[in-house]
Chain A
Amino acid sequence: MFFLSIHLADDALILGHRNSEWTGHGPNLEQDIAISNIALDQIGQARNFYQYAAELYNNNKDAYTKIISSPAFLQVTGSIDEDDLAYLRDAMEFRNHLLVELNKGDWAVTITRQFFMSLYQQLLYTDLQYSADKRLAGIAEKSLKEVNYHVRWSGEWVIRLGDGTEESHHRMETAIDQLWPYVGELFMPADFQLEAAASGLLKNPNYYREPWLEKTRAAFEQAGLAMPALNWYQKGGKKGIHTEHLGYLLAEMQYLQRSHPGAQW
C-alpha cells in the first residue's frame, strides 16, 4: 500500500510541478490560470496521497528504511511527513510514470501529455473510489471531480489544436509522436500494482488499456489526428529507473528544502 500511495502521489506531484512551470508563461492569461489551477489540483492530490504514505511509513518504519535511503531523508528524526517524501527523496526513489517527468515542451506537448494522463487518472480513480482501502478511496473520490475538469479542458485543446491551423496540427502530430512511446507504461503493472490487484484493492492497470485507447481514439478522430501504431514502449519509472529529466526537475523543486532544511515562508 505504501508504494501504491507513493506512486499515485509521485505521478500527481511531478506532473503538477511540470504544469506549474507554465505559471506566468502561459499562451494567454486565461490559459495560464487554467494550467496553474490544474497544477494546484494535482499538487493537492499528491499531498493527500503523501500524507497517507507518511502515516504508513511512520507505523512501520523498519520495513521501509531500506527502500528509502537518500541521506537527506534518513536525517529526519521522529515522524516523517508529506514534505519529507516530496523534497528529500532522490530520483531513484520516485515511482512515477516516465510520461509525467518529460519536459513540458511546447503547448501541444503539455496539452497532449495532460490529456493522456487525465484520461488514465479518470479511469483509475473511478474504480479506486470503491476500493476496500478507505483512505485511497476517499482521495480518489475527491480527485476524480477535479480530474473530470482536466479531461474536458485538455480534450478540448487536443481538438482545437488538431483541427486548427496547419501549424497547430503539425505540432500536435509531433507531440503525439514524442509522447506515444511513454503511454504504454501506464498499462504495464509494477509489482506493487500486481499486489494491490491480488488483494482486490485495485484492478490491474492493463485493464484500462482498451478503454483508454477508445477514449483517445474518439478525441483524435474529432481532432483529425491519426492514432500511432502501437508496438514498443519505454518503461522503468515505476521501478525507479528514470529519464535524465527527473533529476533536473528534482534539483529545482527540492533545492530550498535541501539547502535550508525545514525552511518555511
Chain B
Amino acid sequence: MSTESTIWKLLEEVKDPEVPVISVVDLGIIRDVKQTESGVEVTITPTYSGCPAMDVIAMQIRMVLAGHGYSPVTIKTVLSPAWTTEWMTEAGKEKLLAYGIAPPNPKQQVCTPGYFQQEEAVQCPHCRSFHTRSISEFGSTACKALYQCEDCKEPFDYFKCH
C-alpha cells in the first residue's frame, strides 16, 4: 500500500468530535493527502465557516499521524470548492442513521426554498416514517436542523443538506 493510501486509512480513525460515529473521511472534509519531501500534507475543508470542531479535528489528525510515525504533518485549510453534504460517503450516512441522526437526503434537492417551505421529506431515523416536521432550521450544531416525527413523536436531528 502506498503511503498516501495508508494515511487515508489512518484518517478513518479520526472522528468528528461532535458526531463521534463518523470519521473525517466519511464526512468528506479531507480534500487531499500528499507525501512531500518534508513530511505529510493533509488538506481539509470546514463544513461551516464557524465550525468549532475544525481546530480539534486538525489536532487529532496530527496526533493520529504522529502516533504512526508521520512527521512533520502540515494541515492546510481550503474553502473552495465549498464543502457539500454530497461529499459524505454512503457508509457515513448509514452510520448517522444508526446513531439516530437523519442523514442528508441522498440526492440534493432544494437547499434554499422560499419562506416557509419545507425543503423535502425527511425520514425519521427511529420509526422510518416520512411524516415529520421541521422544528428549527438550526440544531445542536451548525450542520444540523431539529425535526420531530409526527408518528412516533420522537424529536431528532437532521444533518441538513448543504
Contact = CB atoms under 8 A, between A and B. Distances in A.
Contact of A148 (B112, B135, B139, B140): B112
A237 interface: no
Contacts of A34: 136-138
Contacts of B80: 134, 137-138, 141-142
A119 B52 CA distance: 25
Interface stretch (A35-43, A73-81, A95-103, A251-259): A35-43
Consensus secondary structure, chain A interface: helix
A44 B112 contact: no
B82 A142 contact: yes
Nearest to A160: B116
B112 A48 contact: no
A45 interface: yes
A44 B139 contact: no
B99 interface: no
Interface residues of B, number: 27
A141 B116 CA distance: 25
B70 interface: no
A38 B81 contact: no
B136 A142 contact: no
Contacts of A44: 46, 48-51
Consensus secondary structure, chain B interface: loop
A143 B146 CA distance: 22
A61 interface: no
A156 B118 CA distance: 12
Contacts of B142: 37, 40-41
Interface string B107-125: 0000111111000000000
A44 B82 CA distance: 14
B82 A145 contact: yes
27 contacts: A31-B136, A33-B138, A33-B140, A34-B137, A34-B138, A38-B138, A40-B48, A40-B52, A40-B142, A44-B49, A45-B50, A134-B80, A137-B80, A138-B79, A139-B79, A141-B79, A142-B49, A142-B79, A143-B49, A145-B82, A146-B48, A148-B111, A151-B112, A152-B115, A153-B138, A159-B115, A159-B116
Interface of B: 46, 48-52, 78-83, 111-116, 135-140, 142, 146, 162
Q: Return the 3 tightest CB-CB contacts between A and B, nearest first.
A: A44-B50, A44-B49, A138-B80
